[in-house]
């Protein structure tokens, strides 16, 4: 199939219809059955009637159905031209439409069939006598030639008519095919440009979010940590002043809660807009891993999370993203190796993510390009106050990534 598979416009069929009808009528009128029909032959008159019915019935139907049944219409028109003198106009137009929309061995065989039938039709018409019994001779007869007399045609002229007619049909079809392919290529190129533009915009927004998150984390996180530290020291040194101790304790707990809120907000800021895993609970992690993230991947996983529904959304989001990135890295750098994934945790122990696979040299951790995903995991882990280690294990035979995240409980109410 060439092009987008859409049906040809109706105006093109309307444009071809007069051409098909006129070509068929002229071929019928200037044919051997028509000449014989003047003498009252019943068979010739019947052939003429059938030819006219075919010209005004098969022609329009074939034009309208040429896209739905392209091969059937071309073959039917080509074989019909052998039995009834409708000429080659209809087979040539249908062949051009076929070549513009299809390719392959079947098209080659169909084109060969039309070439053979059209050659037979032209040769038979050129051999018909007298002049008025031949469409070819009527068109090309010299001025003053008696149409009731026989006339011979040079074989070279017959060959030229066959080649020119068949060549025009094939050339028009190939030209329309090139136009279809160019239009599809332009449409694909435009879609590709639009996709690249969207990706560029998203990358720019992502970089800006990352920059804002780093600045907020560095500035506000440092100040809140100092506030928490000094409030704790003030509470410890308050002595018997209960009001001062209570105020210091309130300042310390508020600063700690502000740090938690800051980390949660920054994790949202770092995630792409419209994330479809932002609200997934940890209880569904195993289901999502096997149905989405790990689809088609060689994976052996163990996921055990206690009291998963109580996890804060920022923690659930971080676990999903880290697991997704680990699976993506394994699929990219070690596609032939089985990934062993373990996710365990709960409110009392936090969440521990361990992933390892046999090392085949696919990931160069000392290059920024190869470790970009690991850098993103490290950044996300540190943002939640966790830790991450990665590298070769078991004598360099296994590549392992281990992430430890503190438990963050969903606030009540």
pLDDT at residue 369 in the model: 41
Do 218 and 299 share a structural domain?
Answer: no
Of 7-11, 106-110, 191-195, 357-361, the least confident: 7-11
Q: Given a cut of 90, is residue 401 above it in pLDDT? A: yes
Comparison of pLDDT for 259 and 130, the residue scoring more: 130
Do 292 and 264 share a structural domain?
Answer: no
Determine the structural domain holding residue 218 and report its residue range: 210-270
Distance (Å, whole) CA 37 – CA 32:
8
Distance (Å, whole) CA 286 – CA 283:
8
Indicate whether 46 belongs to any domain.
yes
Q: What is the DSSP letter of 273?
A: T
- Cα–chain center distance at 138: 55
Do 245 and 119 share a structural domain?
Answer: no
Q: Which residues, 6+ apart, have CB-to-CB distance to 15 below 8 Å? A: none
Q: Given a cut of 60, is residue 118 above it in pLDDT? A: yes
Tell me, what CATH number does 332's domain have? 3.30.565.10
Distance (Å, whole) CA 228 – CA 256:
6
Indicate whether 130 belongs to any domain.
yes
Query: Which ranges constitute the DSSP H helices of 102-154?
Result: 105-127, 135-140
Highest mean pLDDT among 240-244, 341-345, 384-388: 341-345
Contact, 339 vs 297, CB < 8 A?
Answer: yes
207 burial via Cβ count (<10 Å: 0-12, 13-18, 19+): exposed
Q: Which residues, 6+ apart, have CB-to-CB distance to 395 below 8 Å? A: none
Do 301 and 253 share a structural domain?
Answer: no
Do 358 and 231 share a structural domain?
Answer: no
Band (pLDDT 50/70/90 cuts) for residue 406 is very high
Arithmetic mean of pLDDT over the chain: 78
Band (pLDDT 50/70/90 cuts) for residue 113 is very high
pLDDT at residue 412 in the model: 64
Comparison of pLDDT for 363 and 253, the residue scoring more: 253
Band (pLDDT 50/70/90 cuts) for residue 45 is low
Q: Given a cut of 90, is residue 354 above it in pLDDT? A: yes
Contact, 374 vs 395, CB < 8 A?
Answer: no
Q: Which of 392, 393, 390, 386 is nearest to 402 (CA)?
A: 390
Contact, 198 vs 124, CB < 8 A?
Answer: no
Distance (Å, whole) CA 264 – CA 259:
9
Determine the straight-line distance between the first and last CA of the chain, rounded to whole angstroms: 59
Residues forming beta bridges with residue 398, ordered by sequence position: 358, 393
Indicate whether 300 belongs to any domain.
yes
Strands 299-305 and 339-346: parallel
Do 290 and 249 share a structural domain?
Answer: no
Indicate whether 220 belongs to any domain.
yes
Total domains present in the chain: 3
Q: What is the DSSP string of 12-28?
A: HHHHHHHHHHHHHHHHH
Give the torsion sign (CA, 246, 406, 395, 332).
negative
Count of Cβ atoms closer than 10 Å to residue 293 Cβ:
21
Do 221 and 128 share a structural domain?
Answer: no
Do 319 and 261 share a structural domain?
Answer: no
For the stretch 213-264, pLDDT in tens is 776 766 676 677 777 778 888 878 877 888 888 888 888 787 777 777 676 6
């Amino acid at each position: 199939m060439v092009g987008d598979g859409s049906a040809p416009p109706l105006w093109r069929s309307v444009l071809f219809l007069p051409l098909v009808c006129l070509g068929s009528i002229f071929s019928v009128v200037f044919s051997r059955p028509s000449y014989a029909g003047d003498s009252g032959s019943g068979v010739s008159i019947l052939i003429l009637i059938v030819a006219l019915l075919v010209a005004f019935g098969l022609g329009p139907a074939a034009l309208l159905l040429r896209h739905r049944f392209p091969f059937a219409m071309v073959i039917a028109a080509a074989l019909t031209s052998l039995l009834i003198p409708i000429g080659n106009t209809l087979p040539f137009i249908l062949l051009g439409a076929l070549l513009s929309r299809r390719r392959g061995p079947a098209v080659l065989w169909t084109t060969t069939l039309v070439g053979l039938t059209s050659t037979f039709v032209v040769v038979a018409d050129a051999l018909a006598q007298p002049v008025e019994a031949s469409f070819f001779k009527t068109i090309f007869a010299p001025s003053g030639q008696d149409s009731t007399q026989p006339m011979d045609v040079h074989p070279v002229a017959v060959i030229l008519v066959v080649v020119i007619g068949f060549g025009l049909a094939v050339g028009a079809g190939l030209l329309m095919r090139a136009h279809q392919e160019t239009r599809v290529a332009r449409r694909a190129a435009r879609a590709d440009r639009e996709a690249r533009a969207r990706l560029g915009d998203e990358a720019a927004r992502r970089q800006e979010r990352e920059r804002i998150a780093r600045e907020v984390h560095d500035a506000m996180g440092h100040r809140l940590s100092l506030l928490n530290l000094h409030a704790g020291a003030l509470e410890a040194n308050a002595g018997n002043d209960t009001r001062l101790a209570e105020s210091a304790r309130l300042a310390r707990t508020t600063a700690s809660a502000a740090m938690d809120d800051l980390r949660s907000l920054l994790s949202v800021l770092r995630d792409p807009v419209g994330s479809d895993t932002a609200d997934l609970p940890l209880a569904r992690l195993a289901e999502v891993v096997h149905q989405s993230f790990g689809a088609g991947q060689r994976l052996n996983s163990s996921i055990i999370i206690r009291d998963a529904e109580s996890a804060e959304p920022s923690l659930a989001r971080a676990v999903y993203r880290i697991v997704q990135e680990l699976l993506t890295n394994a699929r990219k750098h070690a596609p032939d190796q089985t990934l062993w994934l373990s996710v365990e945790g709960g409110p009392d122990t936090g969440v521990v993510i361990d992933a390892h696979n046999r090392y085949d040299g696919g990931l160069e951790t000392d290059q920024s390009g190869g470790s970009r995903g690991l850098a993103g995991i490290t950044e996300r882990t540190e943002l939640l106050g966790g830790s991450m280690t990665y590298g070769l294990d078991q004598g360099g035979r296994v590549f392992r990534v281990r992430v430890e995240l503190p438990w963050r409980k969903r606030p009540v109410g």
